[in-house]
């Protein structure tokens, strides 16, 4: 970039760990160019990605072309949007025009969409530069990231462990300094679980906050799209860009731009009513994880909050989650079960979800509707008394990379695949916004996340609380070391 102001520019690794807000500031002040930023990230991806397999597709030529356009606009003093020149990754279940989108499935191994998803449109319009696609379990079905097309995504803090799922590639990329921002989606915890495992920040917004377009299930309130980052400020910035109404989504919410970034500036928590919910009486929690998250919850006392140990009654939520999960999978895939090639190529876990869903009757669905309503009334009344609810994000730290899912916690067997993710899934069932923030490390050096939950459509208060916690217990400067790890 010509005529750059004379200031010291950061080295490559330092640059790759700068917050998006800082990168934006440096670009606007002409301290560093979008081209230099993109080249730095592409170089780091080339070095680090073979170890962890966070990106499944990288588009260096397209990214550099976009960066040059962004640089030209800066030099000509053209319009500069919210994410002008900032790199971002897109999960491999989200449509990207001209960029391979496999859904982690052999069925779509060579599929190249001719359109962008709405969230990608909005990111591009804001000036973001797409570096590539991040790995996901097949059809985003699972809490650990692996598939037959690209294999396992490994945890940057220790590649012998999994990155979580289903936005595991996104979380691993952020943690490893392979991009400041990532797009993902969350059904039962798919943004929050990998954020916890990888020591980054993942936000599940309220249904409709970020409209899912196109969508085969337009009225679906369970699967939502959202942002992932290393800092709360960056998360708020990205949420402002991707949120807002769209008539193609009948559940989309009104615009609340500028409210989210405003919420994280000078957050003040005095007098907030905070509940520590622990295991919500839903699942065992690993002893070390419980100790770390309980200690983190006490930080809110230092923030002048009123903290009590209290949890809502979540009776019936597990059955409700299973029935609605079954309904979703039957809606999406039942017509394909007769296709022998589809069944032979697809992960048996996906097929099992469909088959389990087909076992439920209309009476089961009716019961789930009633149970969800009862749950809502109880939990909504709880939030009349408390502003925030805290829990461990996941009841365990990251598990070994090749493990599909844990079968026991503290010696207690998990009866069902989703048992171990009920601390996140419970809030998906109710459509409440929730965020996972890093709050400590196990003795093995694996990150642990604290989940913060707010009342309906309470993203602003959620971001305020997370920003206050981040300020009191900063984590963004801690980075994984790849020394001693061989390329796999």
**pLDDT tens, residue by residue, 96-111:** 999 999 999 999 999 9
**pLDDT tens, residue by residue, 238-294:** 999 999 999 999 999 998 867 999 999 989 999 999 999 999 999 999 999 999 999
Query: What gap in Å lies between CA 189 and CA 426, rounded to an integer?
Result: 9
Residue among 190, 196, 206, 249 flagged as catalytic: 190
Query: What gap in Å lies between CA 412 and CA 88, rounded to an integer?
Result: 40
Q: What is the pLDDT of residue 279?
A: 98
Closest C-alpha to 288, from 398, 156, 426, 401: 398
What counts of helices (H) and strands (E) characterise the chain?
17, 17
Q: Is 310 a catalytic residue?
A: no
Torsion (CA) 38, 149, 424, 213 in degrees, nearest 10: 70
Q: What is the pLDDT of residue 417?
A: 85
- Confidence class for position 482, pLDDT limits 50, 70, 90: confident
Torsion (CA) 320, 324, 326, 327 in degrees, nearest 10: 140
Q: Is 125 a catalytic residue?
A: no
3-state secondary structure of 37: helix
Q: Which helix (H) or strand (E) is 196 found in, with range?
A: helix 192-198
**pLDDT tens, residue by residue, 349-393:** 999 999 999 999 999 999 999 999 999 999 999 999 999 999 999
According to DSSP, residue 99 is labeled: S
Place of tokens 């991806």: 45
b (16+ CB within 10 A) / e for 435-466: bbbbbbbbeeebbbbbbbbbbebbbbbbbbbb
Q: Is 166 a catalytic residue?
A: yes
Q: Which helix (H) or strand (E) is 67 found in, with range?
A: helix 60-75
Residue among 144, 163, 166, 428 flagged as catalytic: 166
Query: What gap in Å lies between CA 26 and CA 150, rounded to an integer?
Result: 35
**pLDDT tens, residue by residue, 328-359:** 999 999 999 989 999 999 999 999 999 999 99
Q: What is the pLDDT of residue 256?
A: 81
Q: What is the pLDDT of residue 109?
A: 97
Q: Which long-range contacts (CB under 8 A, 24 or more apart) does 474-482 make?
A: 475/199, 475/437, 475/438, 475/439, 476/17, 476/19, 476/230, 476/231, 478/199, 479/17, 479/177, 480/156, 480/157, 480/175, 480/176, 480/199, 482/48, 482/51, 482/156, 482/176
Q: Structure tokens of 376?
A: 């809502």
Q: What is the pLDDT of residue 2?
A: 46
- The answer to which of 118-122, 249-253, 481-485 has the lowest mean pLDDT is 481-485
Mean pLDDT over each residue of the chain, to the nearest integer: 95
- Confidence class for position 483, pLDDT limits 50, 70, 90: low
pLDDT above 70 as % of the chain: 97
**pLDDT tens, residue by residue, 408-458:** 999 999 988 899 999 999 999 999 999 999 999 999 999 999 999 999 999
Query: What gap in Å lies between CA 394 and CA 385, rounded to an integer?
Result: 25
Is the confidence at residue 6, as pLDDT, over 50?
no
Fold that domain 12-310+372-472 belongs to in CATH: Amidase signature (AS) enzymes (3.90.1300)
Residue among 33, 89, 91, 106 flagged as catalytic: 91
Query: What gap in Å lies between CA 202 and CA 200, rounded to an integer?
Result: 7
Query: What gap in Å lies between CA 65 and CA 75, rounded to an integer?
Result: 15
Give me the residues paired with residue 161 across strands. 400
**pLDDT tens, residue by residue, 182-239:** 999 999 999 999 999 999 999 999 999 999 999 999 999 999 999 999 999 999 999 9
Query: What gap in Å lies between CA 474 and CA 457, rounded to an integer?
Result: 26
Place of tokens 């709050």: 439
Q: What is the pLDDT of residue 34?
A: 98
Is the confidence at residue 1, as pLDDT, over 60?
no
């Amino acid at each position: 970039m010509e005529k750059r102001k004379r200031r010291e520019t950061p080295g490559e690794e330092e640059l790759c760990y700068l917050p998006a807000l800082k990168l934006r500031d440096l670009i606007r002040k002409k301290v560093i160019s979008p081209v230099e930023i993109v080249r730095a990230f592409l170089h780091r991806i080339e070095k680090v990605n073979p170890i962890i397999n966070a990106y499944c597709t990288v588009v260096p030529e397209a990214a550099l072309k976009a960066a040059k356009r962004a640089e030209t606009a800066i030099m000509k003093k053209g319009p500069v949007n919210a994410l002008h020149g900032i790199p971002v990754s897109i999960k491999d279940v989200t449509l990207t025009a001209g960029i391979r989108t496999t859904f982690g499935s052999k069925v779509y191994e060579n599929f190249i969409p001719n359109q962008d998803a709405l969230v990608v449109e909005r990111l591009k319009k804001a000036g973001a530069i797409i570096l590539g696609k991040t790995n996901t379990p097949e059809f985003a079905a699972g809490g650990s990231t692996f598939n037959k097309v690209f294999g396992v995504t490994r945890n940057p803090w220790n590649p012998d462990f999994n990155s979580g799922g289903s936005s595991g590639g996104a979380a691993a990329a952020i943690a490893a300094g392979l991009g400041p921002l990532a797009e993902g989606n969350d059904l039962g915890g798919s943004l929050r679980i990998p954020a916890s495992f990888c020591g980054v920040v993942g936000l599940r917004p309220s249904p409709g906050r970020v409209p899912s377009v196109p969508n085969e299930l337009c009225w679906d309130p369970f699967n939502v799209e959202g942002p992932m980052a290393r800092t709360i400020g960056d998360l708020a910035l990205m949420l402002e860009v991707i949120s807002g109404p769209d008539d193609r989504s009948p559940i989309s919410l009104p615009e609340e731009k500028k409210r989210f970034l405003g919420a994280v500036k000078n957050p003040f928590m005095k007098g907030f009513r905070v509940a520590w919910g622990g295991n919500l009486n839903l699942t065992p929690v690993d002893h070390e994880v419980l100790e770390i998250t309980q200690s983190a919850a006490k930080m809110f006392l230092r923030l002048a909050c009123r903290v009590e140990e209290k949890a809502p009654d979540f009776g019936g939520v597990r059955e409700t989650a299973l029935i609605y999960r079954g309904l979703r999978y039957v809606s999406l895939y039942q017509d394909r079960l007769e296709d022998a090639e589809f069944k032979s190529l697809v992960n048996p876990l996906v097929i099992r979800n469909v088959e389990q869903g087909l076992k439920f009757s209309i009476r089961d669905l009716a019961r789930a509707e009633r149970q969800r309503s009862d749950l809502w009334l109880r939990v909504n009344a709880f939030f009349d008394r408390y502003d925030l609810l805290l829990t461990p994000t996941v009841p365990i730290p990251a598990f070994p990379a090749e493990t599909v899912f844990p079968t026991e916690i503290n010696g207690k067997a998990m009866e069902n695949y989703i048992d171990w993710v009920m601390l996140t899934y419970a809030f998906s069932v109710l459509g409440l916004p929730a965020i996972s923030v890093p709050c400590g490390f196990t003795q093995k050096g694996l990150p642990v996340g604290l989940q913060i939950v707010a009342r309906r459509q309470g993203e602003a208060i959620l971001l305020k609380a997370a920003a206050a916690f981040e300020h009191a217990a900063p984590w963004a400067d801690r980075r994984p070391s790849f020394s001693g790890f061989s390329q796999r």
